[in-house]
Amino acid sequence: MLDRGKYLYCVIEDTSPHTFGPIGIGERGDEVHSLCYRDLACVISSTPMTNYVISRENLMAHEKVIEEVMRDYTVLPVRFCTIASSIDEIRSLLMKRYHEFKNLLRSMDNKVELGLKVFWQNMDKIFNEIGTSDKELKLLKEKLKGRKKNPSMDEKIILGEKVKETLEKKRESEAEEIIQTLKPRCTDLRLNKTIGDNMVLNGVFLIDRIQEREFDDLVEELTQKHKEGLRFKYVGPAPPFNFVNLDIKWGAGE
């Protein structure tokens, strides 16, 4: 039988232990509960002392617990697959990093994360726009088109790089317009890498709950304004995974 440990999900402020149901990672029905130290608590469940595979199911199980706790608490998410060997190890963690966690909880108080991905709907239209609006690209295309012989490989590479450069400028310009519209209603933001030619923005925004409705309205206004050219994928609220993700290394000062 595998040794049993304690799986950590998040840190919260609380003075008395609470239970959150048999929703622990691993589909064993492990009870999720909080372990307190002073006015801090770590949300945990029992688990075998083994590494969990990074899979969709396991990541969703980890996040589901944190989202459940977030219904009633400000949360500091802990990195996926953080396992302590004992209750005493967790109490030691809360003691040694008490002031750090308290400060983080103050900064995250009443905050939620909202995700926004924006896509161009018609890439043929976008490529046509940059081909006619950018003077350098337009001249280069006309020069190659006006010649009798086919472009060389080097010329094709030069043209492709220019198209890529011009597309990136358009992406940055349209993303910046969206960011500047939303920025006044968020306390922080993270811009993640865009994937594919058609993604314009891949961002997450840290919002105070009292600003959430106003932020929703701004996203809706942008959606209506750009409905002919852009598609908006808006998700949340979620725990602030992109802004806090506690990295705990046992035996290294926690």
Domain end point (choices 59, 85, 109) = 109
Contact 48, 6 (CB under 8 A): no
SS (HEC) of the chain? CCCEEEEEEEEEECCCCCEEECCCCCCCCCCEEEEEECCEEEEEEEEECCCCCCCHHHHHHHHHHHHHHHCCCCCEEEEEEEEECCHHHHHHHHHHCHHHHHHHHHHHCCEEEEEEEEEECCHHHHHHHHHHHCHHHHHHHHHHHCCCCCCCHHHHHHHHHHHHHHHHHHHHHHHHHHHHHHHHHCCEEEECCCCCCCEEEEEEEEEEHHHHHHHHHHHHHHHHHCCCCEEEEEEEEECCCCCCCECCCCCCCC
129: in domain: yes
Can you tell me the mean pLDDT for 155-175? 77
247: in domain: no
Instruction: Provide the residue range defining the domain that includes 77.
Output: 4-109
pLDDT at 137: 60
The more confidently predicted of residues 30 and 148 is 30
N-term to C-term CA, the chain: 28
90: in domain: yes
One domain for residues 22 and 9: yes
The more confidently predicted of residues 82 and 245 is 82
One domain for residues 118 and 182: yes
One domain for residues 8 and 90: yes
pLDDT category of residue 4 using cuts at 50, 70 and 90: confident
234: in domain: yes
pLDDT at 145: 60
Can you tell me the mean pLDDT for 18-34? 93
One domain for residues 94 and 194: no
Select from 112, 100, 20 the least CA-distant residue to 75: 112
pLDDT at 253: 46
Can you tell me the mean pLDDT for 20-45? 94
For residue 30, is pLDDT > 80?
A: yes
For residue 25, is pLDDT > 50?
A: yes
pLDDT at 27: 87
Q: Give the whole-angstrom CA distance, residue 8 versus residue 252.
A: 17
Q: Give the whole-angstrom CA distance, residue 51 versus residue 55.
A: 12
One domain for residues 119 and 75: no
Contact 112, 209 (CB under 8 A): yes
One domain for residues 168 and 88: no
One domain for residues 89 and 197: no
Residue 196: left if φ>0, alpha if ψ -120 to 50, beta else—which one? left
pLDDT at 184: 92
Q: Give the whole-angstrom CA distance, residue 61 versus residue 97.
A: 26
pLDDT at 250: 73
One domain for residues 167 and 186: yes
Whole-number average pLDDT of the chain: 87
